[in-house]
Amino acid sequence: MQGIALDSDFPDGCQNAGIQRGDSKATIVLKSGQWGFGLFLLESANNDDFIIEYVGELIYEPTWKSRSDLSKHRKRAYPFKLNSTYDIDATYVGNESRYINHSWGNENCVARVKLVHGDHRIGIYATRRIEAGEELIMNYGADFF
């Protein structure tokens, strides 16, 4: 599962407004220099800016486990731990956020679970200034591997 920070890790007040309004940054899927396809910004983002929501099929953990062999065979997996009950799987139903690639230390964005109108949602946020044209990279976390 990809690594996420909880909303409680950011106590500076309400930080779900961007994801609530859908104020995504413009992005494009292009060939990555190292990992096949990647997601690139078409506009700059500042530290803590909301970039995009990670969306997909809402599934239970056992459902994900039943799909993992197929994901290994295809060499593609798009799971995200949403909360203690659900995961989000962007394999069949998702958006371009699933093309954000992984790095262990060169990341420029992070996933954060937000509570929006009573629902948990996953937002991708900049961890530093990201210039237009730069590829989005995040650390998926040890649980993913």
Average pLDDT of the segment spanning 21-33: 91
Q: Which of 35, 56, 37 is nearest to 124 (CA)?
A: 56
**Fold classified for 4-138:** Beta-clip-like (2.170.270)
Residue 10 binned pLDDT confidence (cut-offs 50, 70, 90) = very low
Q: What is the pLDDT of residue 9?
A: 44
The least confident of 16-20, 67-71, 90-94 is: 67-71
More confident residue, 64 or 124: 124
Q: Which residue has 């220099």 as its token pair?
A: 33
| Residue 55 exposed, middle or buried by CB count within 10 Å (0-12, 13-18, 19+) | middle
User: Taking the model in full, what pTM does it have?
Assistant: 0.80
Determine phi and psi for 54, rounding to 5 degrees. Answer: -85, 115
Q: What are the residue ranges spanned by the domains of the chain?
A: 4-138
Under a CB-based contact definition with an 8 Å cutoff, are residues 38 and 101 in contact? yes
Q: What does the alpha-carbon distance between residue 91 and residue 135 come to, in Å, rounded to a whole number?
A: 21
